[in-house]
Structure 1
Amino acid sequence: MTIYYLCPEHDTPAGGIRVIYQHVDILNRNGIAAYVVHNNPGFRVSWFENETSIVYWRNSPIERIRGKLKRRFYPDQVVELHIKGGKQATIGANDILVIPELYGPDLAWEYGKGIKKVILNQGCYLTFNGYSLNKKRLITPYHDPDTIATLVNSKNGEDYLKHVFPDLTLHRFRLSIDPNIFYFQAEKKKQLCFSRIKNQQDAMQVINILKFRGALEDFDIVPFINLPQTEVAKTFRDSAIFLSFGYPEGFGLPAAEAMASGCIVIGFHGGGGREFFDPKFSYPIEQGDIIDFAKTVEFVIKNYQQHPEKMLEKGRLAAEFIRNTYSLEIEEKEIVSAWQTILAKFNSD
């Protein structure tokens, strides 16, 4: 029995892809055979260091046609998935396929009929991408007999899925923030940073409101995009303030990583980040409230200028909270525990 994590193929920074690689590494470290599955032979994410075990689809047009015919004319037979690069040539009935939530309502049917599946839901607000507004169309992988469990990465995501699918077999795991990469630094520059990937329209509004009010004073603005993980971490360590423009999302790794680096974090928690946006050491803003966002940044800058030691203490508290709550050890323990429960049920059926 082997666990295969189907993974999107983007070689630009995306926290969800790193989590997939981490899961596979954790499982292999604990004696549970696992692989990342990519489409293009030789592809491997390069924006963070890894030696993760990877296999690749042997997904030729002929094999796709055979799979479709088999699903149509032999619905009770398992449709094996052909791979290369691992110890086996196929993913079959004795294996488990892990599929991200963003693959849509037909993901359980399209990927290996008869193969047991676990859904990895890292973005609960993406759960219904590709679904229909037709109230009679109730196709979903969460009700598919091949789906044996769902993994979810936040309390917010857990609440979301439990509300929609009350009978779902659900396992929540905490993400980790690597303390060897994202760690507290007391020496801060007068700069605020933010990711340009998310919500650029709101970022443009907030920065320009501050600019035209003359509120930025001697603070530098450091937007970043598609940087390697180590460079992002250095930007966080150097920055006094991180602005979170995250839209609704499953967790919100950048804000947590910025806190781990001692930044004062201001902005939207996106739902998933509600569990760590503590007002004791951060400044949560209601989604879309641009004026409150700009006013809060201006307030924090003034306080930083007048009482830098108090603001630095907030950054220290944030870093301590993240380090204790989202450690590598906790993540590994929760992932292994979830999979031990899943495998016990898989082996008993």
Structure 2
Amino acid sequence: MYKFLSQFKLLALLVFKLRAYFYQSVNVDETADKLKLTYLCPNAKKASGGTKVIYRHTSLINGFQLADVSAQIFHPKNVLFRCQWFFPNLHFKNNFTFDGKNEVYVINEMWAGREAKLAHRKGIKYMIQVQGGYDIFRKSDWKAVYFAYQHAQLITCVSQDIYDCLVFVFPEFANKIHRIHLSLESDLFKPAAVKSNLITYMPRKLKKHSDLVLNFIKNHLPSHWTLVPIDGMNLEEVAQLLAKSKIFLSFSELEGFGLPPIEAALAGNLVIGYIGEAGREYWLEHQFHEIPCGNIKGYAQAILDKINAFDDGAIRHTQFADNISLLAERYNSEREINDLKVLIERLRAEIR
């Protein structure tokens, strides 16, 4: 069995490398006016926030149960691959043949420069889904990226910061950009009735910085406070830990949206650290404390100051109730669903 799986993976990789010969655009009469969105998705060994958005949006669009609209996920590196996100109404594409009239290939920003050129050459309609405004040139040069955005049907983004980045770089394509507001799982991320003296952080984010900060405070951290890394946990375990902790350390770096800090805030944490640029959208006063990126001494001192404030009763997690309600309302599922429905209407208009 292991030998068979290894051989299949090698074959899948070969097909991906030679995909230029497999991609094709055909006219499919039986899908006359049926809009189909095909989301390109990486084979993420560890499910990431970006792949979760792709799976969620596919699920939501199919959940609309529109007779003339459907969505599917496409893993071109291995068409049988599945990320570990469990959503209803998921469909998957298992071939490289596209309906040239009504199918729209949804390409993420990191692959846009590479895949858009191929799609355009093959007569495949496509749009670009941008979840990281600072990743648009990550795997391609400026010329290839410009070509991709020039010929895209539409461009979506998931934060104000991404929108601002795109308009700054490509002002001539501003009319193509459509904002989709992500929703937060406020029913999952919520504070525990009784919190513990825990400080949580994600060690994979700017590890050099987090290691430095932890070493700077090591000799000053009160014995009744504990630092707990969030690593190797599933979503429910992360939510349970954030519910109990009082302080979350943000090491966000040039994020597209930055879910961990806002999820920590929903769980009643005081958030200290880097804003990651996109975090400016939700960095609310009193609950979020910004540290300039690289100011390690200032970061360490801020943690110690906030610990003292918690110990003295000057800060209590119950003081964040209004912020939590505001964030939950601002990023609710109804708004995300409405943004997706508007996207569908714009795509209908584009391809007809």
TM-score by length of 2: 0.83
- The match for 1:342 among 336, 347, 351 is 347
Q: Which runs of 4+ in 1 moved over 4 A?
A: none
Which residue of 2 is the match for residue 208 of structure 1? 215
Following the alignment from structure 1 to structure 2, what is the Cα–Cα distance between the partners of residues 55 and 125? Answer: 29
Following the alignment from structure 2 to structure 1, what is the Cα–Cα distance between the partners of residues 148 and 172? Answer: 10
Q: 1:260 offset after TM fit, Å? A: 1.1
Q: 1:138 offset after TM fit, Å? A: 6.0
| Secondary structure of the corresponding residue to residue 209 of structure 1 | helix
2:104 maps to a residue whose letter is: I
Q: 1:41 offset after TM fit, Å? A: 4.2
Which residue of 2 is the match for residue 148 of structure 1? 153
- The match for 2:46 among 3, 9, 12 is 12
| Secondary structure of the corresponding residue to residue 44 of structure 1 | coil
- The match for 1:21 among 31, 47, 55 is 55
Which residue of 2 is the match for residue 262 of structure 1? 268
| Residues 1:185 and 2:192 are matched in the alignment | yes
| Secondary structure of the corresponding residue to residue 167 of structure 1 | helix
Q: Is the 8 Å Cα contact of residues 258 and 279 (structure 2) preserved in structure 1?
A: yes
Q: Structure 2 stretches of 5 or more lacking a match?
A: 1-34
2:180 maps to a residue whose letter is: F
| Residues 1:45 and 2:114 are matched in the alignment | no
Matches within 5 A, 1:98-109: 98-109=106-117
Which residue of 1 is the match for residue 70 of structure 2? 33
1:44 maps to a residue whose letter is: R
Q: Is the 8 Å Cα contact of residues 6 and 38 (structure 1) preserved in structure 2?
A: yes
Which residue of 2 is the match for residue 224 of structure 1? 230
Q: Deviations over 1:256-309 (max 9, x none)?
A: 11111111111111011111112232112222222221111111111011116x
Q: Is the 8 Å Cα contact of residues 248 and 271 (structure 1) preserved in structure 2?
A: yes
Q: Is the 8 Å Cα contact of residues 184 and 319 (structure 1) preserved in structure 2?
A: no
2:322 maps to a residue whose letter is: L
Q: 1:318 offset after TM fit, Å? A: 3.3
Q: 1:328 offset after TM fit, Å? A: 1.3
Which residue of 2 is the match for residue 110 of structure 1? 118
2:105 maps to a residue whose letter is: L
| Secondary structure of the corresponding residue to residue 277 of structure 1 | coil
In structure 2, relative to structure 1, the CA distance for the partners of 1:281 and 1:95 (3 Å cut) is same
| Residues 1:130 and 2:139 are matched in the alignment | yes
Q: Is the 8 Å Cα contact of residues 98 and 118 (structure 1) preserved in structure 2?
A: yes
| Residues 1:92 and 2:86 are matched in the alignment | no
In structure 2, relative to structure 1, the CA distance for the partners of 1:288 and 1:27 (3 Å cut) is same
Aligned residues: 311
Following the alignment from structure 1 to structure 2, what is the Cα–Cα distance between the partners of residues 256 and 235? Answer: 14
| Secondary structure of the corresponding residue to residue 245 of structure 1 | strand
Following the alignment from structure 2 to structure 1, what is the Cα–Cα distance between the partners of residues 222 and 129? Answer: 41
Q: Structure 1 stretches of 5 or more lacking a match?
A: 59-80, 83-89
Q: Is the 8 Å Cα contact of residues 184 and 260 (structure 1) preserved in structure 2?
A: yes
2:81 maps to a residue whose letter is: F
TM-score by length of 1: 0.83
**After alignment, is 222-231 or 117-126 more displaced?**
222-231
- The match for 2:172 among 167, 171, 179 is 167
Q: 1:95 offset after TM fit, Å? A: 0.5
Following the alignment from structure 1 to structure 2, what is the Cα–Cα distance between the partners of residues 285 and 115? Answer: 45
RMSD over aligned Cα, in angstroms?
1.9
Q: Deviations over 1:292-336 (max 9, x none)?
A: 21111111111011116x331343233222211111111111222
